[in-house]
């Protein structure tokens, strides 16, 4: 009997204990002890399936019917690691067509896209096949419904890095950012692609800074873009406070009256960097940093007030240490 046959679908509602082909198997009940802490009220179908699953697992049976049973068990609990592990052992033991398995697991993923085990199963099948030709399309299908699906992004990054499928990825990411500039996953993917291809050369940094500043202009209160900008600046030789293009942008934004907590946070860090480097830019002083921290505490970033109070303490401590050093 084929794993995907229509006969199986017709049999889905029949309990395994009522199927003639399973009469030779003695079901194995789950042992929860005499006094389980929490007694789970399983459905009859669930108990029936897993009683037979435990029985054939104990026998290490490699057969078509065992493969069919793992499918039912996965339908009832797709997060069960043992079910997928056993299914892989059966697939290998029977020499099954793994491309058919990819088609099957794709359907499961589209129903359970936030389930780690189903993605892990697919990854192993792709590794066995050494064929990732369907993977980018699958992840794009999932991400079209949930652009921040962690498992889809993890699978996509693994596929791209392992099989060197970086071509066209920046263009894809750009589309996602254009659709939703706050999509932190897309910004993270942009960083991932550059870090694994060209690297953050001076030319790339200049291009990416322009790209990011243009998106910040569109939505100034977008933490994802500001975080990406920080990452870029930390890759450069100039640090946070010495890139004229960025400092001019931040100052113009501030003078315009914009008080995005993310832009203020960057200015605070610029001030702190200048303090640690011995100064040099009169715009970025410890006093200004402390004043901005007070504004963030009381008005613009109240939810992180404790962090900004800690930042004031750090600034005071650094100033004190600098004074001690200079007096010696």
CA dist 86 and 79 (Å) reads 13
Q: Which two tokens stand for residue 181?
A: 């500039």
How far apart, in Å, are the Cα atoms of 232 and each of 72, 151, 218? 49, 26, 19
CA 302, CA 222: separation in Å to the nearest integer? 17
Long-range CB contacts (within 8 A, 24+) of 247-251: 247/281, 247/283, 249/213, 249/216, 251/283
**DSSP characters for 42-88?**
--HHHHHHHHHHHHHHHHT--SHHHHHHHHHHHHH-TT-HHHHHHHH
Known catalytic residue at 23: no
Q: Which of 23, 59, 111, 114 is catalytic?
A: 114
Q: Where in the sequence numbering do the catalytic residues fall?
A: 114
């Amino acid at each position: 009997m084929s794993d995907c046959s229509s006969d199986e679908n017709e049999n889905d509602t029949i309990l395994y204990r009522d199927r003639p082909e399973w009469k030779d198997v003695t079901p194995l009940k789950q042992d929860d002890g005499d006094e389980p802490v929490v007694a789970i009220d399983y459905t009859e179908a669930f108990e029936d399936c897993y009683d037979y699953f435990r029985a054939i697992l104990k026998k290490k049976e490699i057969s078509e019917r065992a493969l069919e049973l793992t499918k039912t068990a996965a339908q009832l609990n797709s997060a069960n690691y043992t079910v997928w592990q056993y299914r892989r052992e059966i697939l290998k033991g029977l020499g099954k067509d793994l491309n058919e398995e990819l088609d099957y697991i794709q359907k499961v993923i589209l129903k359970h896209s936030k389930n780690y085990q189903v993605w892990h199963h697919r990854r192993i099948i792709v590794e066995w096949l050494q064929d990732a030709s369907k993977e980018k399309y699958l992840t794009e299908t999932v991400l079209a419904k949930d652009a921040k699906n962690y498992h889809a992004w993890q699978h996509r990054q693994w596929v791209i890095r392992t099989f060197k499928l970086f071509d066209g990825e920046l263009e894809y990411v750009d589309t996602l950012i254009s659709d939703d500039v706050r999509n932190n996953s897309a910004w993270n993917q942009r960083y991932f692609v550059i870090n694994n291809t060209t690297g953050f050369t001076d030319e790339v940094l200049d291009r990416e800074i322009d790209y990011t500043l243009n998106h910040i202009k569109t939505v100034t209160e977008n933490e994802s873009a500001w975080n990406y900008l920080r990452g870029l600046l930390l890759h450069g030789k100039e640090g946070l406070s010495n890139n004229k293009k960025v400092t001019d942008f931040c100052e113009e934004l501030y003078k315009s009256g914009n008080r995005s907590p993310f832009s203020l946070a960057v200015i605070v860090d610029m001030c702190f960097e200048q303090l640690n480097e011995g100064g040099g830019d009169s715009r970025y002083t410890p006093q200004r940093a402390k004043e901005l921290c007070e504004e963030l505490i009381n008005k613009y970033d109240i939810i992180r007030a404790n962090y900004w109070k800690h930042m004031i303490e750090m600034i005071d401590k650094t100033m004190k240490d600098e004074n001690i050093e200079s007096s010696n």
